[in-house]
Structure 1
Amino acid sequence: MSELIKNPDKLLKLEDELNKVIGIRREVKESDLENLPYLHACIKETLRLHSPVTLLIPHRATETCQVMNYTIPKDSQILINTYAIQRDPEVWEDPSSFRPERFMNSSMDYQGNDFRYIPFGAGRRICPALSFASKVTRLVLASLVHNFEWSLPEGTKPAELDMEDIFVLVLDKAVPLKVVPKARLQTDEV
């Protein structure tokens, strides 16, 4: 929500997609999710910028090996910094900007098959709740955007939103988002 509020043009694009696919009368259903690619792109981009965890579960080298001219000794503990990987300017164009369009028509997904994008980890230690989290997150965000108009408190401009993160067990916003919801009027029109 923070990224969408900070980028009103992206929020409008998402609202437009939801209105086209869902219409104005009915609630968002799980079966709608496959027809909402921009919603999915918004969530992927948010997870790229604000990965749920910054350091994946530690790994251990079972044998001495070479990785990009570095020798990793046997039994070394290896920490993978997803925050740095997913904001790497050598991999991502304009890495600090919220641009969901970068995931439109992209095969890159949460499954950990592309090491440029691993918000839930990869391999045997990938998050076991990945498929559940993916569906629930899309369903909740779609419902919030579809059923409410969102605005900032009086006098606050989107450009003023603090997007800084703090590193605790999971990545969290340093300054919590404060928004004002207004229920959308439901009509009988289709």
Structure 2
Amino acid sequence: SFYELRECRKRVLIPLIRARLKAKQEQLSKAKENRNDGNGDWIVPYVDTLLDLELPEQRKLEEDQIISLWEFLSAGTDTTSTALQWIMANLVKYPEIQERLYDEIKSVVGQGAEQVKEEDLERMAYLKAVVLEGLRRHPPAHFVLPHAVKEDAELGGYTIPKDAIINFMVAEMGWNAEIWEEPMAFKPERFLNSGGGGEASGFDITGSKEIKMMPFGVGRRICPASGLAMLHLEYFVANLVWQFKWRTVAGEEVDLSEKQEFTMVMKNPLRAQISSRN
């Protein structure tokens, strides 16, 4: 159950939080003895910002609150990194897609550009199509948070009784052969306009117009960071392809088998041979 999972996380995280707090206090104590602020040029860990945070009622965060904030961070980073690995795995497996993406990036930023910037992304329709296809074919979460119905309801000829728990099969939505042509194939062009100009189709991933897939959920309970996740995925994919050529390791093939962990990860993590494009 979710309660048991929460308690398990507390047992793991609370000792780590307390250990970090103790180390931080010792660091500040030594800094006072040496008459400096103890910060130096160190990168500040995320947990330190939570330990230092003062609430409006002039108190520190409680351990439960720190764990909740950690869960927000973990939920965002784990799902995004999982989606990124799946996308890059398909770009390694299908080099023709990778080269088409590279050509688009070059046409937008120019040959001598050091990196792809955020403002460049909106002009890269194929990049967005690659990311959308990655989320359709390999959604990091195969389920969203469960819901319950308030009263008896009829749906598709079935009776859904009051208080029944409802789960949405996110992956199966994106693999529905009645909606998607060749649903198990990785075809980013399905998200481009059919006119042949290469423009983005304006696909609505939020589900406000229609629901063909829902990697972030839909409606009022949609992932609040879906926009940020799309930005991160487009930015990282663009720069990884712009800077490096990705190939399969000699004698190996990319294995797209799945394994259920916190998210749906690659059973055999991606191994690739990369070389600088510069």
Name the residue aligned to 2:214: 118
Aligned residues: 182
Q: How does 1:1-190 map to 2 (within 5 A)?
A: 1-26=88-113, 27-105=115-193, 106-113=201-208, 114-156=210-252, 160-185=253-278
Given residue 206 of structure 2, which amino acid in structure 1 is its aligned partner?
Q
SS in 1 for 2:122: helix
**Structure 1 CA distance for aligned equivalents of residues 96 and 149 of structure 2:** 46
CA contact (8 A) 1:52 1:120 kept: no
**Bigger Rg, structure 1 or 2:** 2
**Structure 2 CA distance for aligned equivalents of residues 43 and 68 of structure 1:** 32
For residues 16-75 of structure 1, the C-alpha deviation after alignment (integer angstroms, 9 at most, x for no partner) is 101111112221111001100000000000100100210110011011111111111111
Given residue 92 of structure 2, which amino acid in structure 1 is its aligned partner?
I
SS in 2 for 1:63: coil
Dislocated runs of 4+, deviation >4 Å: none
**Structure 2 CA distance for aligned equivalents of residues 33 and 120 of structure 1:** 20
What do you get for the CA RMSD once the two structures are aligned?
1.1
Name the residue aligned to 2:65: none
Moved more, 29-38 or 165-174: 165-174
Q: Percent identity?
A: 37
Moved more, 100-109 or 172-181: 100-109
CA contact (8 A) 2:249 2:273 kept: yes
Name the residue aligned to 2:45: none
For residues 93-124 of structure 1, the C-alpha deviation after alignment (integer angstroms, 9 at most, x for no partner) is 10100000000122323212332111110011
Q: CA deviation at 1:144?
A: 0.3
Q: CA deviation at 1:136?
A: 0.9
Given residue 241 of structure 2, which amino acid in structure 1 is its aligned partner?
V
SS in 2 for 1:35: coil
Given residue 270 of structure 2, which amino acid in structure 1 is its aligned partner?
L
**Structure 2 CA distance for aligned equivalents of residues 180 and 64 of structure 1:** 55
Q: CA deviation at 1:173?
A: 0.6
CA contact (8 A) 1:147 1:183 kept: yes
Name the residue aligned to 2:55: none
**Structure 1 CA distance for aligned equivalents of residues 247 and 254 of structure 2:** 12
